[in-house]
Structure 1
Amino acid sequence: MGASILSLQAFFRLFLFSFITFCCLSSDFALASITRHYKFEIKLQNLTRLCHTKSIVTVNGQFPGPRIVAREGDNLLIKVVNHVHNNISIHWHGIRQLRSGWADGPAYVTQCPIQTGNSYVYNYTIVGQRGTLWWHAHISWLRSTVYGPLIILPKRGVPYPFIKPYKEVPIIFGEWWNADPEAVINQALQTGGGPNVSDAYTINGLPGPLYNCSAKDTFKLKVQAGKTYLLRLINAALNDELFFSIANHTLKVVETDAVYVKPFETNTILIAPGQTTNVLLKTKPNFPNATFFMTARPYATGLGTFDNSTLAGILEYETTTLHSTLLPMKKLPLHKPILPALNDTSFATKFASKLRSLNTPQFPANVPQKVDKHLFFTIGLGTNPCSHNNQTCQGPTNGTMFAGSINNVSFTMPNTALLQSHFLANPMGFIPLIFQSVL
């Protein structure tokens, strides 16, 4: 009898231990990775910039679009519903699509675009990445208004390899056209000339005070003295590399394109289109009795058109009872940064040379030590003869049009989409037999 009771007690102890262990393991697994659901409604929205009101394509009526936040290891299910007349697809810029290439988003390459009234669910898992990326439309020039941040936090319980910031702020650079961007790119493709430049750059969708009729549309980053902020910089401009600086402040680069780097300090950031850079901003220890411009303008050295203007936002310190000022905020001195020259290749080269992988035991640089084959690619901009005799060309010389090239060979558009050719069981029908050499 006593032995039976002891056996029963032992059984319940074992059961209770197993149950608690199972719950703990389940809880740890749940914390490690979860499935996050988002819904993107592609719709038109009236918006006014530069005293010009027009209807633009947006996600959920927002410009820029909504922020996606996930952790490393999470699964994302994002349903995109198309309510506009344009076909649409969404690309998750920088995400490593491991065995989920159909979720990458380039229209006619990994998927057919989402037609009006239809929807598509993007399903992918974030593997081995943490930091700042972004998403955008990947068909024609719809990405000029359809874009937003994609923020990947470390796994729960895993700290940043740098000081924990007081606050994190996404800063997205973009471009604004008073005209319809679709009409702009269509005209460029038809004439062979460079596309008409944008009317303004934007920071979080706002042009700022250096453009006409835009003082009220100025991004203000409000900070507290003596704090560290993580600025998640994203260059969503269509084609332009940008210099970025905050007057009288130093920035510490800690990550680019969702990869930690060896930290280094700089007064100016150079960020390419499509690129992301995380920087730490350490504010001044005391209220400075001043405000500070944060400005951006293009870096350009080659042919082609670009918007040679300067974008500005304002870094503004919040006042407290300890740091008060007798002057209204608008009357405080406004300091302006000094950006490199438009074609300062020396700065660009030095900045790029500072980008090095973190390469620590926790975040190693797993690259092959042996090179099996060396490849050399030259990316350039040249010209091709116009394709139609009656066409009025607007390239750099009469009878020509601009053409991008790799190793002096320009891509020729196929007559049949890759996916369509495979669907029709005729993959060779996709491949052009001859590619043109540019002049």
Structure 2
Amino acid sequence: MEYSILKTYNLFLLTIFFLVLADSTLALAKHAGITRHYNFNIQMQNVTRLCQTKSIVTVNGQFPGPRIIARDGDRVVIKVVNNAQYNVTIHWHGVRQLRSGWADGPAYIAQCPIQTGQSYVYNFTITGQRGTLFWHAHISWLRATLYGPIIILPKKGVAYPFPQPFKEVPILFGEWWKADTEKIISQALQTGGGPNISDAYTINGLPGLFYNCSAKGTKVVRLPFNTSVELVMQDTSIIGAESHPLHLHGYNFFVVGQGFGNYNSSKDPANFNLVDPAERNTVGVPSGGWVAIRFLADNPGVWFMHCHLEVHTSWGLKMAWMVMDGKGPKQKLPPPPADLPKC
């Protein structure tokens, strides 16, 4: 009798456990991400701006390019087919590529470019992010016309971190050159002088109403997996000092300190904000000043870091972090995709 009661009790507990497990599984399934597919056809398109028509590189003939919409937790698969005469790569700016470094995009850092007539599938999962980011070409100056928004919505059933908007309208700031931007940067690199400035600033690809030295090699720094990195960036310009927006691929980092003048390694760390520092993927190095950032190298791959002023990248304000694999299976970069472009 005692054994029978115990057996029934165990069966009761097992039934409760099964129901709880089933409910948890259903809850996870309810909030699980989906796979979203996009096709990017890189093609030339005639576009008229400032009373002049020229042929530019576009995605699907659109300028700016199409928007990508996904939710936190979604897998995004973008097939890029290059039908233009230029080699192309696409970077998903601000998206944290967790063990998906093959999808990051910077040419000759994460991948070789997609050559004319070739294709490549960018495959990544959005994890723990929401907000508005953007994608753009990441080779030469093609991003002048190859760019568009990435809109990441919260998971279904998860509230916005602010009152839900009535309507969302992406606003993209850019520049427009009447001349061929590829010829502009090529000439600047040959002469060592600054490139010609743009003819207009644009909002969503449209100008406002009032408009009538050799490149250096990329330095690479190797980091063991899970290395804690503190980086202080100092603006040393004496003539023509300006702010540099430094962007790190593959990571968000914490801005722990910044100031004007020269960084003092014996005094300034005492004032670092280690309680609630701002989390960013891009930070401006103040004109004539410095900024200190920290990040944990827990995402294996080769990650580009560069000034987001395109001409400064062309002049050599760039580097790459090579984060080595860890020991665990989820701490290793998967093998490259079969269709990864070859140099």
Q: If the TM-score is normalised by the length of the shorter chain, which range does it land in?
A: 0.5 to 0.7
1:365–1:207: structure 2 CA closer, same or farther, 3 Å change rule?
same
**Equivalent-residue separation in structure 1 for 2:318 and 2:22 (angstroms):** 58
**Equivalent-residue separation in structure 2 for 1:23 and 1:148 (angstroms):** 40
Which letter maps to 2:240?
G
After superposition, residues 419-430 of structure 1 pair within 5 angstroms as none
Q: Which runs of 4+ in 1 moved over 3 A?
A: 21-28, 301-304, 364-367, 377-380, 409-413
Which letter maps to 2:195?
P
Which letter maps to 1:302?
G
Who is 1:427 aligned against?
none
Who is 1:93 aligned against?
93
Which letter maps to 1:78?
I
Who is 1:62 aligned against?
62
Who is 1:35 aligned against?
35
Whether the 8 Å CA contact 2:187–2:195 is kept in 1: the answer is: yes
Structure 1 residues 279-338: Cα deviation after superposition (integer angstroms, max 9, x where no partner): xxxxxxxxxxxxxxxxxxxxxx9369xxxxxxxxxxxxxxxxxxxxxxxxxxxxxxxxxx
Shift of residue 378, structure 1, vs aligned partner:
9.0
Which letter maps to 2:89?
S
Whether the 8 Å CA contact 1:379–1:404 is kept in 2: the answer is: no
**Equivalent-residue separation in structure 2 for 1:109 and 1:61 (angstroms):** 27
1:412–1:123: structure 2 CA closer, same or farther, 3 Å change rule?
closer
Who is 2:341 aligned against?
none
Shift of residue 29, structure 1, vs aligned partner:
1.6
Shift of residue 31, structure 1, vs aligned partner:
3.9
Whether the 8 Å CA contact 2:241–2:287 is kept in 1: the answer is: no
**Equivalent-residue separation in structure 2 for 1:100 and 1:188 (angstroms):** 34
Unaligned residue ranges in structure 1 (runs of 5+) = 1-13, 213-300, 305-345, 347-356, 368-376, 381-402, 414-422, 424-439
Name the structure, 1 or 2, with higher relative contact order (CA <8 Å, separation 6+): 2
1:160–1:47: structure 2 CA closer, same or farther, 3 Å change rule?
same
**Equivalent-residue separation in structure 2 for 1:208 and 1:157 (angstroms):** 40
TM-score, scaled relative to structure 2: 0.57
Which letter maps to 1:48?
T
After superposition, residues 304-319 of structure 1 pair within 5 angstroms as none
Q: Percent identical across equivalent pairs?
A: 65
After superposition, residues 38-437 of structure 1 pair within 5 angstroms as 38-212=38-212, 302=240
Shift of residue 164, structure 1, vs aligned partner:
1.4
**Equivalent-residue separation in structure 1 for 2:121 and 2:147 (angstroms):** 17
Which letter maps to 1:35?
T
**Equivalent-residue separation in structure 2 for 1:176 and 1:199 (angstroms):** 6
Which letter maps to 2:159?
P
Shift of residue 125, structure 1, vs aligned partner:
0.9
Specify the SS of the correspondent of 1:111.
Answer: coil
Shift of residue 73, structure 1, vs aligned partner:
1.1
**Equivalent-residue separation in structure 1 for 2:277 and 2:154 (angstroms):** 17
Shift of residue 155, structure 1, vs aligned partner:
1.2
1:79–1:195: structure 2 CA closer, same or farther, 3 Å change rule?
same
Structure 1 residues 41-93: Cα deviation after superposition (integer angstroms, max 9, x where no partner): 00011000000001100001000000001111111111100001100000000
1:410–1:186: structure 2 CA closer, same or farther, 3 Å change rule?
closer
**Equivalent-residue separation in structure 2 for 1:139 and 1:40 (angstroms):** 16
**Equivalent-residue separation in structure 1 for 2:22 and 2:194 (angstroms):** 62
**Equivalent-residue separation in structure 1 for 2:87 and 2:182 (angstroms):** 12
**Equivalent-residue separation in structure 2 for 1:412 and 1:179 (angstroms):** 26
Which letter maps to 1:102?
W
1:378–1:50: structure 2 CA closer, same or farther, 3 Å change rule?
closer
**Equivalent-residue separation in structure 2 for 1:128 and 1:174 (angstroms):** 28
1:23–1:39: structure 2 CA closer, same or farther, 3 Å change rule?
farther
Which letter maps to 1:121?
V
**Equivalent-residue separation in structure 2 for 1:111 and 1:171 (angstroms):** 29
Aligned length: 222
Structure 1 residues 247-268: Cα deviation after superposition (integer angstroms, max 9, x where no partner): xxxxxxxxxxxxxxxxxxxxxx
Specify the SS of the correspondent of 2:168.
Answer: strand
TM-score, scaled relative to structure 1: 0.45
Unaligned residue ranges in structure 2 (runs of 5+) = 1-13, 213-238, 243-259, 261-272, 280-284, 289-310, 320-335, 337-343
Shift of residue 165, structure 1, vs aligned partner:
1.2
1:109–1:166: structure 2 CA closer, same or farther, 3 Å change rule?
same
